[in-house]
């Protein structure tokens, strides 16, 4: 009986829920573009700010400076020292976070309607007038060094750094954005001030807001907060060259479970084949529990707790890559299965049933992402950075539904390249020899 | 300048903020408790079933069975093939998962609101009709062993934490890891799983939480028709676990692992948890943890150890307020490169002792109170974590009234009460102190 009911529900599933957000676009009197969703039921606002060009802007020999500079933004500004700044922020019950990524610096803020102006003034001081006092530089530097030291014995960090170095060589993508112990130790206050001037400018700014605020209020807020930024920042870097070839790199490490990263060249976000590629990745190793890799490596053989793959379209290079952890005695079998599956999807693509299942999952799951002010603001700022229009929110599912099996076959053959697939294995894998 | 402005605003806030999410609760005839949280901003629903059984309810020698069973619940029923439930959720554009704690096991799906009935059909089906083959059990046990490998055996901090809890709890099963000891996981079998399942997976041992774009009446009708017909487990006993004896001896653990790069000190104290109708002491502990180590820059340990003496690069204080039985209050300090563990531990104890003498900074206390008030506003933005808060609280011995009254209880705590609680707390006979060190560290724990 239950089975019959389920079948009926499958039919109903053809019409997925739509993301119900009403995006307004605006340009402030001062000339700042922003996207807004008004949501007045809860008296706070989530604000997302991005500056393109993150840790890739580290000058040669100064690896880690953008990361350290970003970490210092909340350590004192204007009249306030480090603790004074935190006390002021806590007094407002606002939260600000500052994160340095490879391709951007992300600032996320959340503040109550009732003290919005004071929160914005405080946030502004941290972006426009950070103090970078020497004792704070030294203290935060020690925190970064502590993290760099911890990475030395962390299999995940070792694997990532090895994979990145092999893939990207001397491009900033090829090394940890934290920097090395040597490079971070050598950074001076002047380096940090220069990194600040390079990073924050109007020519690379993206903004979105969701919450208890009108378009007019937001426009005034943004001109006050960001209107004093300089027009231009440092030049952005060139594309990185992918250097990875087929092979297995083993990094010996004393632990019971091996960790493997695997992948090769990916696909650009604005490539017309991106959506078919996204569907393929979903079927192959996506976040649904029933991906091909989860089925073959976990469900059928119990070789791992989790395995997944992602498309990583970055601004200066693209990867398709995955991760798996498996007992030292079993990782070789996992590597063999992944290699076989990689070849199989390249050769045969996916079945019509897999395509249809992925479509209903992806189109239904899309609406679930819009679940709160901050998540919606993050989605909107991300769309702006990759050049998508607001209408993508309503058109995106149609684009997914329009993909045909023929598209999938063509794109599978194009993006999965078994003769380029590289594994980096950290651990003491049995029966797996490094090939380079 | 900011401070004056803010204090004025704090007074302007009404004493209790109205909640955006409307809460309704009722009980089905078979004893299943139902909570509905309404949030109509998006056409989405979170459907959760919480069982009032967890790792601390396992039979001796069967550690990990609660968590292993959680994995097996995805294997299928009389009507659903292995993996079909998750695949069906995915085909309907939803996501699903589950988690196990010492006091509960919970299953949830997030999906378009009009698919709620399908979720109830499948979730109610697997409450009683689980099926699994020996092959399913063997393979899934390997998956759990790999999970343990990944989460515990590959993480020195997690390995220490396991040993630390075993030392903290002399008698209570909270000293046994949720995922289980490896040698016991290896022996878990189908019969163990079924025995545990048949006893504890029952409507009168479960809480249904439905949150999102739903109406309480509609949820009641659906719950009646899908969960209502399931027979309860008769004579399900009270959850009484072996209790802790008086703890009379300080415990000190020296843990070395080659994978540790950054040494640190971790200390935990055995403390009370939130109890139904009696949450005052837990509220004081919550505020104490916030004051001592809740913020990277302004809390007492950060100020004294990171800014003033500069003996630590990082410090934090944590307290698990929601728990069926006695909980822990923990402190972590990470020394600067020139500071050894003995010195940084001494500095931590010195900082606590100064705090007890100096009392609480009034402005610091005021800031915390305002943040607690504001956190109610922010909490309304995340319906899933709100649903989780109700499920976890109800599965851990609290009532809806306890959960809803918690903020007011926190707001009513005075600085004097926090100090009074702190004065009774730092008794090393109830504490476990761990030094987590790289393999060849020459330090000797005192």
Residue A281 sits in the same domain as residue A219: no
> Quick one: residue A108, left, alpha or beta (phi over 0 = left, psi -120 to 50 = alpha)?
beta
Residue A203 sits in the same domain as residue A337: no
Q: Which residues contact A297 (CB under 8 A, 6 or more apart)?
A: A303, A304, A307, A324, A326, A334, A337, A338
CA–CA dist A63, A29 (Å, integer): 38
Residue A252 sits in the same domain as residue A210: no
Chain A CB contacts of B43 below 8 Å: 17-18, 20, 367
Under DSSP, is residue B321 helix (H, G, I), strand (E, B) or coil?
coil
Average pLDDT per consecutive 10 residues, chain B (446 residues; last block may be shorter)? 33 41 94 96 94 98 98 94 92 93 98 96 97 93 96 95 98 98 97 96 98 97 98 91 97 95 96 98 98 93 96 96 98 96 98 97 96 94 95 98 97 98 97 93 49
Other residues' Cβ atoms within 10 Å of the Cβ of residue B228: 16
- A409 in any annotated domain: yes
**Is the predicted pLDDT of residue A15 greater than 60, yes or no?**
no
Q: Which of residues A226, A256, A285 is at a domain's end?
A: A226
Q: Which of residues A226, A256, A283 is at a domain's end?
A: A226
Q: Show the tokens assigned to A112.
A: 């109550």
Other residues' Cβ atoms within 10 Å of the Cβ of residue A306: 16
Strands in A132-287 per DSSP E: 205-211, 247-252, 257-265
Q: Point out the residue among A115, A155, A361 whose CB comes nearest to the CB of B91.
A: A361
To the nearest whole Å, the CA of B92 is away from the closest chain A CA by 6
Mean pLDDT, rounded, for A42-52: 97
Q: Point out the residue among A17, A90, A288 whose CB comes nearest to the CB of B298.
A: A90
| 3-state percent breakdown (helix, strand, coil) of chain A, nearest 5 | 45, 20, 35
Render pLDDT for A128-167 as a digit per residue (tens, 0 to 9): 999 999 999 999 999 999 999 999 999 999 999 999 999 9
Q: For position A285, which CATH number holds?
A: 3.30.830.10
Residue A166 sits in the same domain as residue A270: no
Q: Has B354 been annotated as catalytic?
A: no
Q: Show the tokens assigned to B346.
A: 């001494």
B23 pairs with which residues across the strands? B37
- A306 in any annotated domain: yes
Q: Show the tokens assigned to A98.
A: 């500052």
Q: Which of residues A226, A259, A281 is at a domain's end?
A: A226
- A235 in any annotated domain: no
Asked if B322 and B279 count as a contact pair (C-beta separation under 8 A), the reply is no
- A232 in any annotated domain: no
CA–CA dist A65, A152 (Å, integer): 20
Give the single-character DSSP code of B323.
-
pLDDT of B443: 52
* B308 and chain A in contact, CB less than 8 A: no
Q: Name the average pLDDT for chain A.
A: 93
CA–CA dist B427, B433 (Å, integer): 12
- A260 in any annotated domain: yes
Kindly name the residue from B38, B58, B70, B281 that is annotated as catalytic. Answer: B70
Residue A269 sits in the same domain as residue A214: no
Q: DSSP letters of B270-285?
A: EE---BTTB-HHHHHH
pLDDT of A112: 98
**C-alpha dist (Å) from residue A397 to A18, A25, A272, A358, A366:** 9, 21, 15, 12, 8
Residue A314 sits in the same domain as residue A408: yes
Chain A CB contacts of B18 below 8 Å: none
Chain A CB contacts of B95 below 8 Å: 287-288, 365, 368
Place of tokens 């999410």: B21
pLDDT of B441: 52
Residue A294 sits in the same domain as residue A221: no
Closest of B333, B372, B326, B371 to residue B352, by C-alpha: B333
pLDDT of A233: 95
The pair phi, psi for residue A303, each rounded to 5°, is -85, -15
Under DSSP, is residue B394 helix (H, G, I), strand (E, B) or coil?
helix
pLDDT of A19: 57
Indicate the helix (H) or strand (E) that contains A323.
Answer: strand A318-327
Chain A CB contacts of B114 below 8 Å: 12, 17
pLDDT of B360: 97
**C-alpha dist (Å) from residue A80 to A75, A98, A142, B367:** 9, 18, 22, 17
- A242 in any annotated domain: no
Q: Show the tokens assigned to A223.
A: 């001109």
* B19 and chain A in contact, CB less than 8 A: no
Half-sphere exposure of B415 (CA within 13 A, CB side): 17
Residue A359 sits in the same domain as residue A396: yes
CA–CA–CA angle A376, A381, A385 (5° rounding): 145
- A392 in any annotated domain: yes
pTM, whole model, 2 decimals?
0.92
Render pLDDT for A254-308 as a digit per residue (tens, 0 to 9): 999 999 999 999 999 999 999 999 999 999 999 866 899 999 999 999 999 999 9
Residue A177 sits in the same domain as residue A256: no
Q: Which residues contact A66 (CB under 8 A, 6 or more apart)?
A: A54, A55, A57, A58, A100, A105, A177, A195, A199
The pair phi, psi for residue B68, each rounded to 5°, is -60, -45
Closest of A290, A289, A284, A295 to residue A342, by C-alpha: A284
B96 pairs with which residues across the strands? B109
- A314 in any annotated domain: yes
Residues 171-200, chain B, touching A (beta carbon < 8 A): none
Structural domain total, chain A: 2
Residue A209 sits in the same domain as residue A265: no
Q: Point out the residue among A2, A3, A153 whose CB comes nearest to the CB of B258.
A: A153
Residue A126 sits in the same domain as residue A255: no
Residue A300 sits in the same domain as residue A186: no
Render pLDDT for B410-424 as a digit per residue (tens, 0 to 9): 999 999 999 999 999
Mean pLDDT, rounded, for A41-57: 97
pLDDT of A17: 52
**Is the predicted pLDDT of residue A1 greater than 70, yes or no?**
no
pLDDT of B142: 96
Q: Show the tokens assigned to A162.
A: 């090895």
B307: Cα separation from own chain's centroid: 31
CA–CA dist A295, B99 (Å, integer): 20
The domain of A163 spans 4-226
């Amino acid at each position: 009986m239950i089975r019959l009911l389920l079948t009926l529900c499958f039919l109903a599933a053809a019409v997925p829920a739509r993301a119900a957000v009403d995006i307004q676009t605006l340009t402030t009197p001062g000339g700042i573009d922003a996207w807004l969703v008004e949501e007045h039921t809860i008296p706070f606002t989530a604000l997302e700010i991005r500056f393109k060009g993150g840790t890739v802007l580290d000058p040669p020999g100064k690896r880690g400076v953008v990361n350290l500079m970003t970490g210092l933004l909340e350590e004192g500004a204007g009249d306030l020292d480090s603790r004074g700044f935190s006390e002021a922020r806590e007094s407002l019950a606002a939260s600000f976070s500052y994160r340095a990524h490879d391709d951007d610096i992300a600032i996320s803020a959340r503040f109550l309607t009732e003290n919005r102006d004071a929160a914005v003034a405080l946030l502004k001081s941290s972006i426009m007038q950070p103090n970078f006092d020497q004792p704070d530089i030294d203290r935060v530097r020690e925190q970064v060094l502590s993290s760099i030291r911890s990475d030395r014995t962390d299999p995940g960090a070792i694997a990532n750094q090895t994979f990145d170095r092999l893939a990207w060589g001397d491009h900033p993508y090829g090394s940890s954005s934290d920097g090395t112990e040597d490079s971070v130790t050598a950074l001076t206050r002047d380096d940090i001030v220069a990194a600040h001037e390079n990073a924050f400018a109007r020519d690379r700014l993206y903004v979105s807001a969701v919450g208890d605020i009108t378009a007019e209020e937001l426009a005034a807020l943004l001109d006050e907060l960001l209107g004093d930024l300089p027009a231009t920042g440092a030049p952005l870097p060139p594309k990185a060259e992918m250097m990875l070839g087929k092979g297995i790199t083993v990094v010996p490490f004393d632990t019971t479970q091996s960790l493997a990263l695997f992948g090769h060249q990916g696909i650009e976000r604005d490539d017309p084949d991106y959506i078919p590629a996204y569907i393929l990745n979903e079927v192959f190793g996506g976040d649904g529990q029933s991906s091909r890799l989860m089925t073959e490596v976990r469900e059928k053989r119990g070789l791992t707790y989790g395995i997944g793959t992602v498309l990583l379209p970055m601004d200066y290079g693209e990867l398709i890559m995955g991760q798996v952890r498996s007992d030292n005695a079993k990782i070789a079998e996992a590597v063999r299965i992944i290699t076989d599956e990689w070849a199989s999807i390249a050769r045969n693509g996916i079945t019509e049933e897999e395509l249809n299942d992925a479509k209903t999952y992806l189109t239904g799951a899309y609406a679930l992402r819009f679940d709160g002010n901050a998540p919606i603001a993050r989605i909107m700022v991300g769309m702006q950075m990759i050049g998508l229009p607001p209408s993508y929110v309503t058109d995106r599912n149609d684009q997914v539904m329009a993909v045909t099996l023929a598209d999938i076959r063509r794109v599978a053959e194009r993006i999965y390249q078994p003769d380029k697939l590289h594994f980096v294995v950290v651990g003491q894998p049995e029966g797996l020899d490094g090939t380079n | 300048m900011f401070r004056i402005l803010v204090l004025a605003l704090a007074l302007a806030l009404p004493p209790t903020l109205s909640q955006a999410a409307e809460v309704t609760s009722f009980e089905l005839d078979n004893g299943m408790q139902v909570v509905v949280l309404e949030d109509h901003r998006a056409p989405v629903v979170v459907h959760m079933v919480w069982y009032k059984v967890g790792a601390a309810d396992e039979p001796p020698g069967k550690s990990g069975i609660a968590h292993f069973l959680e994995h097996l619940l995805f294997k299928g029923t009389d009507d659903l093939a292995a993996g079909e439930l998750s695949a069906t959720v995915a085909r309907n554009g939803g996501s699903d998962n589950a988690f196990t704690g010492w006091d509960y096991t919970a299953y949830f799906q997030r999906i378009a609101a009009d698919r709620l009935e399908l979720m109830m059909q499948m979730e109610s089906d697997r409450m009683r009709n689980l099926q699994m083959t020996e092959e399913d059990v063997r393979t899934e046990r390997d998956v759990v062993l790999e999970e343990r490998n990944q989460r515990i055996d590959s993480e020195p901090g997690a390995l220490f934490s396991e040993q630390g809890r075993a030392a903290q709890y002399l008698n209570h099963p909270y000293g046994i890891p949720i995922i289980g000891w490896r040698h016991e996981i290896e022996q878990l079998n189908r019969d163990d799983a079924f025995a545990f399942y048949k006893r504890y997976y029952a409507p009168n041992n479960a809480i249904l939480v439905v949150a999102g774009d739903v109406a309480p009446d509609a949820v009641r009708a659906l719950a009646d028709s899908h969960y209502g017909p399931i027979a309860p487990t008769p004579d399900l006993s009270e959850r009484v676990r072996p209790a802790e004896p008086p703890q009379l001896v300080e415990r000190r653990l020296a843990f070395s692992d080659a994978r540790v790069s950054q040494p640190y000190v971790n200390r935990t104290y055995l403390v009370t948890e939130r109890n139904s109708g009696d949450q005052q002491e837990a509220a004081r502990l919550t505020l104490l943890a916030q004051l001592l180590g809740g913020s990277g820059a302004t809390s007492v340990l950060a100020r004294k150890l990171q800014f003033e003496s500069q003996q630590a690069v990082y410090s934090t204080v944590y307290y698990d307020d929601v728990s069926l039985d006695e909980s822990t209050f923990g402190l972590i300090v990470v020394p600067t490169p020139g500071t050894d563990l003995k010195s940084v531990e001494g500095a931590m104890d010195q900082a606590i002792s100064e705090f007890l003498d100096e009392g609480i900074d009034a402005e610091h206390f005021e800031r915390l109170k305002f943040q607690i008030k504001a956190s109610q506003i922010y909490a309304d933005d995340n319906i899933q974590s709100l649903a989780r808060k109700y499920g976890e609280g109800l599965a851990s011995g609290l009532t809806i009234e306890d959960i809803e009254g918690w903020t007011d209880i926190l707001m009513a705590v005075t600085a004097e009460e926090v100090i009074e609680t702190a004065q009774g707390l730092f008794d090393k006979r109830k504490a476990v102190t761990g030094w987590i060190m790289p393999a060849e560290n020459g330090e000797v724990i005192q």
